[in-house]
Every structure is written in structure tokens, then in C-alpha cells.
Amino acid sequence: MLVVGLGNPGKKYAETRHNAGFLVIDAVAKSEGLEDFREKFSGLFAKGRAFGKDVVLLKPQTFMNLSGDSVQPAMVFHKLAPSDVIVVHDELDLPFGEVRVKVGGGHAGHNGLRSILARVGSPDFVRVRVGIGRPPPSFPGDVADYVLQGFDATERARLPALVDDAVRALERVVRDGAAAAMGAVNAKSPPRNGPKRV
């Protein structure tokens, strides 16, 4: 099983919203004792046991819009189908703090997913979507500026809980499969068109 966290390499991007996937992979690596990352597949990877299963953790170092150039070679090397791949990524369309599991679908404007879809040729991988929310109306820049910006003070205070929730969601996928994980994880999150938060 290949578990991919999406993000951009380098200290400049380390604590930005777009690097939520890297943050989750780092947390998994720490909790499961897989912190010996090595360079391969145009990325950093670690191989071993996590959540009771054999996994490969991968953080592409290609920059976000070329993530598929890392994921596809890793899949070929390990002889994995798209259904054996889990991608953890930031999600604008979920409020900050929410986590959802999804199988298939499009890229919804996410350049990392766009690249993976183009290189892998199939949407049938699992996604763990980490909610970062959309920029407020008062935000001076565009969406690209927003995702490449650091978390604000309120978000930073809640970030450890968000990362932990994403790790737990990922654990459910690895241990129990995507269908069971969707039933357990997604039921905890209110529907997107539900009651507005005050």
C-alpha cells in the first residue's frame, strides 16, 4: 500500500496550508516509527509496517503540480494498482478542521491531484481530504496565495487536532478499507450544505 502526502518541498512551504499532506505523513512516520526517509521516486519515502499493514510512505519532492511524476514511478516499482494508493491532501472545499475520506472523483482544481490523475490515468485511488477552508472575502490575494500562506493563529492552535484526526482517518483506511473508513469518518462531519456555523 502506498500512502502519499501532498505538499511542496523546502522550509519556505513547511507550515503552509498546501502542505497539510506532508504534515499528516510526518505524524504517521513519527507514531509508527518510520522516520527513516530516503530519496527515491523524485520524493522522500519510508517503507515498513504502519497500522498493522505493510506500507510505503511517500512525500513527492517535485513541487505540487508535478506530484504524479513521483507517485506513478513508485506505483510501478511496487506493482500497485490505483486502489492500493491513498493520497492525503489539503481540501479547500471542507471547512478547516474537517476530514473526509473519498474514493475516485476529479481534481477539483487541486494541482497535485491533477498531476496524479494525468500520470496514473485513473481516479480510483483513495483520498484523505484535510479541510483547510476557503479564504475569507476580505483575503487580499487569490486562492493560490491562500494555500501557500501559513496557518493563522487560530488555525495553528487547532492544527494538532486536525492532523491527529487525519491520521486516525488514514488508519481506518489502512486497517479496514476505504468503504468502512468512509462510513466511520464521514459520518462525523456535517454535510457541506448543512447548518451554517455562527
Catalytic residue ranges? 18
41, 79, 32, 33: which is closest to 60 by C-alpha?
41
Task: Give me the helices (H) in 18-110, please.
Answer: 20-32, 68-77
Do 67 and 116 touch, CB atoms closer than 8 A? yes
Q: What is the DSSP string of 92-108?
A: TTS-TT-EEEEES---T
Collapsed DSSP state (helix, strand, coil) of residue 157 = helix
Between helix 111-120 and helix 68-77 the angle, nearest 10°, is 40
